[in-house]
Structure 1
Amino acid sequence: GECDREKGLVYLQAERRDKPMQETYLGDLKTGKLTKIAESEWGYGVAAHSKNHKQLLIGTGYSVGDSVFYLWSNGKMNLLYGKPIENRKQGEQVPLNGLGAGVFSPSEKGAIVTTSIFADTYSLGFINFKKPGELSPIKLNGVVHKGMGEMENVAHLKDNRYLVTFNIDGCSWAYEGIFDEKKLTMNLKYVLVGREPFDSGMIEHLDYNHVEDVFTFSFSTATSPTQIYSIEGKQRNDLSLHTNEKILGIPDSLLSKGEDASFASHDGLRVSARLYLPSPKLGFKGTRPVVYYIHGGPQGQERPDFAWFSMPLIQFMTLKGFAVFVPNVRGSTGYGLSYTKHVDRDWGGQDRLDHVHAMTKVLPKDKRLDVKRAAVVGRSYGGYMTLMQAGMHPDLWKASCDMFGPYDLLTFLDRIPETWKPYFKIALGDPSKPEEKDFLIQRSPKSHLHNMSAPMLVIQGRNDPRVVAAESEDLVRELQAKGKPISLHIFEDEGHDVLKYENRVTCYNAITDFFAKHLNP
């Protein structure tokens, strides 16, 4: 949560295990005392605090883009923008506002927020605390990047200086801006990240020391582990590299930076994608078998980030001779609110058809690829989509790997943490309503996997609180009973991920060896 290191104060959220309730606290790091600020089944997140901590900017939300902001002042919550769910009529549709990040203005008389009100790909807005319910646009000057993407965040640096970040084609751009509160303009003065040498990658974390006037940040690319840099100087041109991390034993020339492979889907919608091919220096001959990699979320995005689970696996597979196709289909973040909302209450619908279109109409045109030797793999929602592909489109795949993906949406919704259930009733479906229960059954992989023909590997963490191990165990037991070629690998000391180094080595090898056996790269 939000932290004031100088005063030793931190804001945090805690989730109840016994009921759908999230509690927000102020923690004093010097005394260890916790003071409850608010509680709600939806959760209240502290976006920012005033200098004296007597005022807080607090946000809550019900689904992506449906947010409410409050000004907490001396223990009282005052509505700033949005319509609380308890004030809505049954079935009432509220216009989305896309409120995300929020910070206090220099005068602390208002808030600067990111919002989709003025641009679907998000922009800055201003809320005057004396005029709640009114959101004014902030004019942004000095943008130099180009490409598809969205505004990501705004953060306060010092006085009237702010950090504004963007996600453009999956890559990070960060600007230092000067805010004029009277004119409501944000003048982006310096590009901190986005141009060389900080291009084609992703900021992991950025910190600003307002005393030393120094930016320190960690940055990763598709071919480089996380490095730590600092930027200082009046013109922000004094750069320092503090680490020299390498992928041990593998020259950079053997890694794949990937290439743009975006395409128009079945209904004309642009889908961003990248294709990672083996380096020519590896010496592979002929067309390459395809591994189709599907990200999780579903409202997430695959980005050029070696610190994430996916990219080392993608690189490892290219080293073994596979071409890896990585789409960000509708429902992904990074391309505006409307694009992200496509998947709400449509799991396994139009996004599934994006994948089918890529496999049947787009990739076959690339003469470097052999789509008749193709496998599909994904984690979490990507695992769910892998199961849907294997069950509904078995003719497309020679092998599949599901990593902790929901198998039966009814049992999945019953087994998720209590604090997740209110959100999923809105974003996915409510099984207590007969018509929605029927929809959830129809969109469950369980209803289609009797059609599966290609071998499947299932990977699961025993301690997963989101997609519990029983989901994968049910999947494997029921399909084995039908005589399907399916196997299960459970990591006893992992949750909703594979984090431990030894386990990752085992996991990467298991997936790659499995695909090599069935695709023959």
Structure 2
Amino acid sequence: MKKLLLAAAALLPISTAQAEAPKPAALVADGIPPVPDDIPAAMRPYGESRSAVVQGWDASTGNLIIATRFANTAQLHAVAGPMMDRRQITFEAEPVRAHPSPVGGTLLVLKDTGGNEFFQIYRVAEGQLQLLTDGKSRNEFGAWSDDGKLVGYSSTRRNGTDTDLYVMDPLNPKSDRMVAQLAGGGWQIAGFSPDSKTALVQQYVSVQKSNLWLLDVRSGKLTPLGDHAASVSYGEAAFAPDGTIWVTSDEGSDFQRLGTIDRRTGRFTPRSTEAKWDVESFEIARDGSYVAYVLNENGSSRLKLLDPKTGAAREARNLPLGTIGGLEAGPDGRLAFSLSSAKVPTDAFTLDPASLQATRWTQSETGGLDAARNPEAELVEVKSFDGETVSGFLYRPDPKKFPGKRPLVVSIHGGPEGQYTPGFRGASNYLTNELGIAVFAPNVRGSTGFGKRFVSLDNGPFKREDSVKDIGAFLDRLQRDPRIDPKRMAVNGGSYGGYMCYASAIRYGDRLKAADCIVAISNFVTFLENTQSYRRDLRRVEYGDERDPAQRAKLTAISPLTSVNKLKIPLLVVTGSNDPRVPESEANQIVAAVRGNGGTAWHLVGKNEGHGFAKKENRDYQSWVETMFWRKYLLGQ
């Protein structure tokens, strides 16, 4: 009897205490309480949603290549037909991206290590990856030649900073050679002429300016295409089968239009007729019979096919409203693409160019949840401090399940050359559907998608805080909303949105309960000094040049770290140790400063992650910690 009582006593602490959720070994939870296991149990279905992102066609088999995740990272799969099984091709520990040959038989992939973005190019051979690049530098895939015998790519191999251009036959790695030695980090091979003798090259300078060049593949001679003295931005560029050069450009317009550029004179001729909204991507049929393009209309996508002979454009039919990307024209003329919406996880579709009927090829899992329950985005527009119209998307909880005023999280996108577009929200749906938290995703000034005038409104250090003031205008509007609780509002954001998260927590701390800031800039000067050298000059164009005394002083003045003594609300900071964009030091210094002032700062560090968590086990734990953070500091539970 005594032994039975002792055994029962030994079991008592375990049965009455709250069990803890296991933490992945690569994560460091600094100052974060243990996650109670009721959170992962409740959130598990929301973490099990998948996606199917179109990567291209296997011209040898007619299979569609997609990227989807069954284990910890997204890997490549082949799909033979609509709604057929996904057959896995790669089995790597890190996520991979695919670039299949246009003639079939060869599949190239890009892969980095631990999120460091030093991508290497590999050839898939019998389930193994054959390294084609040097294994050390940062490499980006450019384009295949039409005959599949040549690949163009960019690399920092020479000195770690400048991006040079290379070509190779991937079946003969010894053919690899530098074709152009260049200065700066914004160079890319966009395509090859039909005879493979000329490459079309893009030079990114800023979101408002880029240059086009023609590259003689044999000699390496670069010839300017268009007026490089003009402030013109080219989004995409490609050769058609007949040698015509197609581009998206804002020349002569506030928005990106689809058109052609004369190879001899550099003159741009618009071919799309929409007066407003950006054409954000396009794809040319392999026989040149159509040019498909995506129009971004206030965050929602419209897919159209343009007849290059007649100029007539027809719109795709029977597509759910959402965001479209990854256009890939197949050997038989079908167009593949990815589509995401509030009720559709990112999935693969094809479009028949004759009938304009769309066919869904994959139906990704949503953890057993009914995606139809997910709320649709509600467009909100406000006038900011200076009369500028800014907008965003609001997701409200079901009023029947959650009546009355609801708490709100303002979730700010990164970039700043980015745009929030309504898509499938994955684990974030848990906040709205199960906790009754409304989520608002703003597009502050400087966001793309609203024209080049709008995107320039936050340029440089002296305009930077204007975008933070936009958040104040949104808060004014949302606090007056009869279904929003003005006393329970919070903010989160990643990358540049992470800076906005810190800045909003400081400026509007009296109106916010907590802040969740992810891979965030805390000091513009130290950020610019420590971001990877290959991208430093490109970031100086956007944020300012810390080497200039006047700009350095302003960059310091507007940095969250400078005003950290005003940050009084609880803070959650999420960091990737291998982040090449916003180094870990940006998080370490603000966490130390907040704690030094007696404030609350939880710090979650991914030792095997970069600019955002890519591995499922880490993303899951991040979601659990964020839910615990919101329950404690926003909901008061």
* TM-score for the superposition, normalised by structure 2: 0.73
Counterpart residue number, 2:223: 78
Structure-2 separation of matches of 1:201 and 1:424:
30
1:305 Cα deviation (Å)? Answer: 2.6
2:547 pairs with 1:418: no
Counterpart residue number, 2:348: 228
Counterpart residue number, 2:170: 29
2:488 pairs with 1:367: no
Over the matched positions of the two proteins, sequence identity in percent amounts to 28
Match for 1:206 among 327, 345, 360? 327
Match for 2:360 among 213, 221, 241? 241
Matched AA of 1:322: I
Structure-1 separation of matches of 2:361 and 2:235:
32
Counterpart residue number, 1:270: 389
Counterpart residue number, 1:98: 233
Structure-2 separation of matches of 1:299 and 1:333:
6
2:306 pairs with 1:177: yes
Q: Write out aligned runs for 1:45-444 (5 A).
A: 45-73=188-216, 74-75=218-219, 76-83=221-228, 95-104=230-239, 107-108=242-243, 110-132=244-266, 135-141=267-273, 149-157=277-285, 158-180=287-309, 186-188=311-313, 190-192=314-316, 195-196=317-318, 198-210=319-331, 212-232=332-352, 234-237=354-357, 239-280=358-399, 283-306=401-424, 311-319=425-433, 320-346=435-461, 348-360=464-476, 362-444=477-559
- Aligned residue for 1:24, secondary structure, equals strand
Q: 1:216 to 1:100 in 2, by over 3 A?
A: closer
Asked if the contact 2:468–2:500 (Cα under 8 Å) also holds between the matched residues in 1, the reply is yes
Counterpart residue number, 1:505: 620
Structure-1 separation of matches of 2:493 and 2:184:
30
Structure-1 separation of matches of 2:371 and 2:259:
43
Spell out, residue by residue over 1:233-276, the C-alpha distance to the aligned partner (whole angstroms, 9 max, x if none): 63233x43222223123223431122111222222222121100
Structure-2 separation of matches of 1:351 and 1:152:
23
Q: 1:100 to 1:218 in 2, by over 3 A?
A: closer
Structure-1 separation of matches of 2:574 and 2:404:
31
Spell out, residue by residue over 1:275-328, the C-alpha distance to the aligned partner (whole angstroms, 9 max, x if none): 0011245x112200110100000111111232xxxx224312102110101111
- Aligned residue for 2:504, secondary structure, equals helix
1:388 Cα deviation (Å)? Answer: 0.8
Counterpart residue number, 2:94: none
Asked if the contact 2:564–2:590 (Cα under 8 Å) also holds between the matched residues in 1, the reply is no
1:40 Cα deviation (Å)? Answer: 2.5
Structure-1 separation of matches of 2:304 and 2:548:
47
Q: 1:487 to 1:159 in 2, by over 3 A?
A: closer
Asked if the contact 1:172–1:199 (Cα under 8 Å) also holds between the matched residues in 2, the reply is no
Asked if the contact 1:377–1:400 (Cα under 8 Å) also holds between the matched residues in 2, the reply is yes
Q: 1:343 to 1:27 in 2, by over 3 A?
A: farther
Structure-1 separation of matches of 2:384 and 2:527:
29
Q: 1:42 to 1:233 in 2, by over 3 A?
A: closer
- Aligned residue for 1:163, secondary structure, equals strand
Match for 1:14 among 151, 155, 180? 155
Structure-1 separation of matches of 2:428 and 2:388:
26
- Aligned residue for 1:275, secondary structure, equals strand
Structure-2 separation of matches of 1:53 and 1:215:
24
Structure-2 separation of matches of 1:8 and 1:279:
55
Spell out, residue by residue over 1:431-482, the C-alpha distance to the aligned partner (whole angstroms, 9 max, x if none): 2211111011011111112111111111111211111111111111122111
With 419-428 and 434-443 compared, the bigger mean Cα shift is at 419-428
- Aligned residue for 2:429, secondary structure, equals helix
Asked if the contact 2:145–2:193 (Cα under 8 Å) also holds between the matched residues in 1, the reply is no
Q: 1:81 to 1:364 in 2, by over 3 A?
A: same
Q: 1:107 to 1:249 in 2, by over 3 A?
A: closer
Q: 1:140 to 1:402 in 2, by over 3 A?
A: closer
- Aligned residue for 2:439, secondary structure, equals strand
Structure 1 residues not aligned, in runs of 5+ = 84-93
1:365 Cα deviation (Å)? Answer: 2.2
Structure-2 separation of matches of 1:442 and 1:388:
12
Asked if the contact 1:292–1:376 (Cα under 8 Å) also holds between the matched residues in 2, the reply is yes
1:101 Cα deviation (Å)? Answer: 1.5
1:106 Cα deviation (Å)? Answer: 5.5
- Aligned residue for 1:318, secondary structure, equals helix
Spell out, residue by residue over 1:211-234, the C-alpha distance to the aligned partner (whole angstroms, 9 max, x if none): x22222221112321222222263
Spell out, residue by residue over 1:43-88, the C-alpha distance to the aligned partner (whole angstroms, 9 max, x if none): 32122211111011111021112111111134321111232xxxxx
2:156 pairs with 1:42: no
- Aligned residue for 2:608, secondary structure, equals coil
Q: Write out aligned runs for 1:450-465 (5 A).
A: 450-465=565-580
Spell out, residue by residue over 1:326-372, the C-alpha distance to the aligned partner (whole angstroms, 9 max, x if none): 11111111111111122221464111110011112x11221000122
Asked if the contact 1:42–1:419 (Cα under 8 Å) also holds between the matched residues in 2, the reply is yes
Asked if the contact 2:408–2:484 (Cα under 8 Å) also holds between the matched residues in 1, the reply is yes
Give the CA RMSD over aligned residues: 2.1
2:636 pairs with 1:515: no
Structure-1 separation of matches of 2:574 and 2:239:
45
Asked if the contact 2:256–2:277 (Cα under 8 Å) also holds between the matched residues in 1, the reply is no
Asked if the contact 2:283–2:329 (Cα under 8 Å) also holds between the matched residues in 1, the reply is no
Structure 2 residues not aligned, in runs of 5+ = 1-141
Asked if the contact 1:70–1:80 (Cα under 8 Å) also holds between the matched residues in 2, the reply is yes
Counterpart residue number, 1:91: none
Q: Write out aligned runs for 1:480-491 (5 A).
A: 480-491=595-606
With 490-499 and 342-351 compared, the bigger mean Cα shift is at 342-351
Matched AA of 2:238: V
Asked if the contact 2:382–2:473 (Cα under 8 Å) also holds between the matched residues in 1, the reply is no
Counterpart residue number, 1:87: none
Asked if the contact 1:65–1:337 (Cα under 8 Å) also holds between the matched residues in 2, the reply is yes
- Aligned residue for 1:357, secondary structure, equals helix
1:105 Cα deviation (Å)? Answer: 5.0
1:95 Cα deviation (Å)? Answer: 4.0
1:390 Cα deviation (Å)? Answer: 1.4
Asked if the contact 1:463–1:492 (Cα under 8 Å) also holds between the matched residues in 2, the reply is yes
1:107 Cα deviation (Å)? Answer: 4.0
4+ long deviations beyond 6 Å? none
